[in-house]
Homo-oligomer: A and B are copies of this chain.
Amino acid sequence: MNADTRNDRDVGSKKIATLPETLAAGEQRIVLAHGGGGELTRRLLDERILPRLNNELLAPLADGALLPPMTGRPCLTTDAYVIQPIEFPGGDIGRLAVCGTVNDLVVMGARPLALSLALVIEEGLSFEVLDRVVGSIAAAAAEAGVPIATGDTKVVERARGDGLLITTAGVGEVPSDVQLDVHRIVPGDRIIVTGTLAEHGLAVMAARENLGLNSGIASDAAPLGGLVAAMLECGGGTVKFLRDPTRGGLAGVLADLVENTALGVEIREEALPVTTAVRHAAELLGLDPLNVANEGKIVAVVAAGDEQRVLQACRAHPLGRNAVCIGECVAASPPLAEMVTAIGGRRIILRPYGEDLPRIC
C-alpha cells in the first residue's frame, strides 16, 4: 500500500481540484482505474481499506513493513484464495485468508507476527461487498492477534462480476524449544484431530449449490494460534507433527504423513468426528468427508501415552472442544493410510485426485 494516508489536496493559492470529493450515487462499484496506482487507487485505500486495517506496522505505508526484531527462527508462508462464492455460511474470503495463513504458521510451531494482504479485485465488485470482506479481514486479524502489516491492491477487468482474489503471506517466529519434526514419529504415536471434520468445504459447496439454508453447516474457519499454543504447552517433545487439513482434507494429510514417515497410518471410522449434518450433506453432494477441506482444525501426531494430556489441553480451548484420538501410526510394509470401518473392514485412504472441490479456498 504505497499511497499516503493524507487527503490534503489544499496547496494554498494553487489549490488543485482534479477529482470530485466523493463518488456520485450509482458509482459505488470498483472500476479499473481503482487499480491504476494513481489518485483513485489512493482514494480506494484511504476511504475503504486502510481505516479498517490500520495499525502501527501498516501506518507508514512504505514499500514494505518493518517488523519488531525476532529471536527465534523466522517462518514464511503464503496462500492464494480463489474461493467461490466469496461469502458463505460461517465466513467469507477475507476471514478465510487470514485464518488460513495464520494456521499455516501455527502448524509450523510459529507465533504469527505479521501478515501481508494482496487484493485482486474484479471490476464491478460492489463497495458494499468489499467493505464487508475488509471488515472481516480486520476482525479475523484481531481475533488472531496479528496485524496486517503491508499490502497491495490491483483491479482486473470484469469476467464474472463477483470476483475477489486474496493472497496473504505471513511471517512468524518459531521459539527454540519447539520440536516439531515428522522424523521423530515412531510406530504407536497417536493421531489426534481437534474437532469435527469437513465443515468448511461442505458449507461452501452447499452455498454454491444453493443448499445453504437447509444444510445448517457453517465453515469452521478460525485462527488456531491459541489452540496450538495450548497443545505445545503440554511439553517439548510431546507433539511431533501438526497440520491443518485444508485442501485435500484429512485424507491428504494422512497421505503426506505416510509418505514423509514411511510408516503406515491406521484410523478408526467410528472415532472420526463427523456430525450428522455433515454426513448427510456429503452424501447429497457425493463427497467423502475425509477429502473435504477444514479451515479451523488441526491434525496432530503425539507420543503414545501423551494423548490424553494433549486432548485435555485441546478440550479446554473453545476451538478444541471436540478433539479426539482417531488412530495411530503403525509399522507396515508397504506403508499405507488405512481406515478400519465400522463393520471391521479395511479401506485404503488415498490422496484425493483433485477434481471434487475446485475453488474451495
Contact = CB atoms under 8 A, between A and B. Distances in A.
A14 B333 CA distance: 10
Given A68-B73, A352-B38, A352-B39, A104 B155 contact: no
Contact of A260 (B4, B103, B334): B4
Contact of A259 (B6, B113, B259): B6
A285 B324 CA distance: 65
A37 B246 contact: yes
Contact of A354 (B36, B120, B293): B36
B74 A4 contact: no
Nearest to A71: B69
Contacts of A37: 246-248, 252, 293, 352, 354, 357, 360-361
Nearest to A107: B63
Contacts of A110: 64
A214 to B, nearest CB: 25
A195 interface: no
A12 B332 CA distance: 11
A151 B169 CA distance: 9
A169 B101 CA distance: 13
A152 B79 contact: yes
A153 B149 CA distance: 23
A18 B73 CA distance: 40
Chain A interface residue bracket vs B? 35 or more
A256 B150 contact: no
B78 A151 contact: yes
Interface string A51-71: 000000000001111111111
Interface stretch (A27-35, A124-132, A136-144, A274-282): A27-35
Contacts of A33: 353-355, 358
Interface of A: 2-4, 6, 8, 10-14, 16, 18-19, 32-42, 62-82, 103-105, 107-108, 110, 113-114, 116-120, 149-157, 159-160, 165, 167, 169-172, 174, 243-244, 246-248, 252, 256, 259-260, 291, 293, 333-336, 348, 350-361
By Cβ-Cβ distance, the 7 closest A-B pairs, closest first, are A37-B247, A38-B354, A36-B354, A64-B77, A169-B169, A78-B116, A167-B167
22 contacts: A4-B259, A14-B348, A35-B358, A36-B355, A37-B357, A37-B360, A38-B252, A38-B352, A39-B351, A41-B247, A63-B103, A68-B73, A69-B73, A70-B70, A74-B74, A74-B171, A78-B151, A80-B119, A80-B152, A120-B120, A165-B165, A167-B167
